[in-house]
Amino acid sequence: MSQEVRIGKVTFQNPILLASGTFGFGLEFPQVVRRMGGIIGKAITLKPRAGNPPPRIWEVPGGILNSVGLENPGVSEFVHSVLPRMTFGKAHVVVNVAGSTVGEYAEIIRRMDSDRIAGFELNVSCPNVRQGCIAFGQNPQTVARIVRSCRRTTSKLLITKLTANFVDPLLTARAAEQEGSDAVTLINAVSALALDAQGLPALGAGTGGLSGPAIKPLALYCVRRVAEGVKIPVIGCGGITCGLDVQEFMLAGARMVQIGSINLIDPFSGLRILAELRREESSPEKERGAS
């Protein structure tokens, strides 16, 4: 049975994507990437970013707080020395783009005119940087301006990755749809705080983004709310750890999913989840536990 999914002009071999920031650029485990629908690499910014001071990661019940701070080599170095190595057979490469100004998104995309890239995911939702990203994603008008300028710049697949932080994602999703986004991803990590034993912020940057199974119900809620209110496909993301989770997101209205935090526990999770999904889709008896 074919698992192919089409979004915009791009056909993916199956509905599972590796979420941005959770699988590097795919170079460590190409044998896993090749079998996925695609990989969304670490976010790319206009200039190189060193990232945030450690600790960058902190465990909480059922999830992780992270504040990596978009460490990346910047668009020039990425195009020159990373992108040429991102060859993963039938799996597509989607580049996550993060701007610190509204104009930077299109500027970054303009510098990445490569056949290796199937499309772009606009990061208007990262909670771990001082400027841009989540601040843009909380305002539908700003999301509209960013998507509009990027849509004028590229005819490639354009996905907008939205936040559920202090904004109704239906409003930002509609703004993205109106300006020509081919799909929306819901949700990015949620702004969160953990304190250490001394009562001080546990992460080096102070606050972070919560991800993992702890946010799955919130992600499912957002996916359903948005899927019922827009016509473009929704890509579900948030706490997926198994094939049943993927099916739940599909039932909530997602066309595709991204797996993220679980890659940190086992980099081969994508292969397992894909196998579980195939098994479940071919068996008529589905068992869905309360979650």
Residues near another protein (CB under 8 A): 21-24, 27-31, 42, 50-64, 66, 68, 71, 212-213, 241, 261, 263-268
Whether 193 and 128 have beta carbons less than 8 Å apart is answered as: no
| Crossing angle between the packed helical segments 269-282 and 243-252, to the nearest 10 degrees | 70
**Residue 89 in tokens:** 């057979």
**Shortest Cβ 68–another protein spacing (Å):** 5
Whether 19 and 237 have beta carbons less than 8 Å apart is answered as: yes
Where helices occur in 67-210 by DSSP H, the ranges are: 75-77, 104-110, 134-137, 140-153, 169-178
* Beta bridge partner(s), residue 157: 119
Q: Which is nearer to another protein, 52 or 185 (by Cβ)?
A: 52
* Beta bridge partner(s), residue 122: 97, 160
Q: Which is nearer to another protein, 102 or 264 (by Cβ)?
A: 264
Residues near 276 by Cβ (< 8 Å), separated by ≥ 6? Answer: 242, 243, 244, 246
Alpha-carbon distance 189 to 191, whole Å? 7
**Residue 151 in tokens:** 């849509």
**Shortest Cβ 83–another protein spacing (Å):** 15
Q: Which is nearer to another protein, 70 or 134 (by Cβ)?
A: 70
Alpha-carbon distance 247 to 273, whole Å? 11
**Residue 77 in tokens:** 């170095």
**Whether residue 126 lies in the annotated active site:** yes
Q: Which is nearer to another protein, 135 or 264 (by Cβ)?
A: 264
**Shortest Cβ 282–another protein spacing (Å):** 24
Q: Which of 126, 133, 222, 237 is catalytic?
A: 126
**Shortest Cβ 59–another protein spacing (Å):** 5
**Shortest Cβ 271–another protein spacing (Å):** 9
**Residue 267 in tokens:** 């980099």
Q: Which is nearer to another protein, 229 or 267 (by Cβ)?
A: 267
**Shortest Cβ 86–another protein spacing (Å):** 12
Which position has the token pair 């465990």?
Answer: 59
Phi, psi of 76 (to 5 degrees): -65, -50
Alpha-carbon distance 225 to 34, whole Å? 32
Whether 169 and 229 have beta carbons less than 8 Å apart is answered as: no
> Where in the sequence numbering do the catalytic residues fall?
126
